[in-house]
Amino acid sequence: MDLLQVIVGVVLAILGWVIGHRFTSARDVKNSQRSIRVAALAEAYKVLVRSGIDGVMVKRDAGGAVVNGAKPVEDAIALVHLYGTQEQSTLASNYATQISTEGGGDATELVNALRKDIRENLGGYDVEGQPRYLRVTYQDTRPSK
């Protein structure tokens, strides 16, 4: 009888370890996927907000050279299509359509949807109201020589 109790105890311990390992592995995979998704959407959010702050995607620098800021926005839209929800993908498509047909667009709804989703995934709540972003520029007031 003692041998049977030992065998049952060992079998239950092994079974408990296997089940625990499966749940832990599944949780780790899900956490990794969430981390990758949040990082990608956060990058897209940052690029879209910067585009809105700048107000223009393609411009000339002080030397007259063309600076193409559209590439990061194009990449951000692709990231939203890859990692975003159906709603976010639809909003990204709408934004891309606005840009292609009207020469510009408003990404506010998309940015708000991304921010809400990212904050929820990080365990927080979305902010109330429309956030204000900041753009600081330098204006040289010294007399020209």
Q: What is the pLDDT of residue 37?
A: 95
Q: What is the pLDDT of residue 137?
A: 73
Residues 6+ apart with CB under 8 A from 126: 115, 116, 119, 120
**Rounded distance, CA 99 to CA 82, Å?**
20
- Judge whether 95 lies within some domain: yes
- Judge whether 144 lies within some domain: no
Q: What is the pLDDT of residue 136?
A: 79
| Predicted TM-score (pTM) of this structure | 0.75
- Judge whether 6 lies within some domain: no
Q: What is the pLDDT of residue 56?
A: 83
- Judge whether 23 lies within some domain: no
- Judge whether 33 lies within some domain: no
How many domains are contained in the chain?
1
Q: What is the pLDDT of residue 111?
A: 95
Mean pLDDT (10-residue bins), the chain, 145 residues? 86 90 90 94 96 86 87 96 97 95 92 95 82 77 75
- Judge whether 64 lies within some domain: yes
Domain containing 52 equals 38-121
Q: What is the pLDDT of residue 101?
A: 93
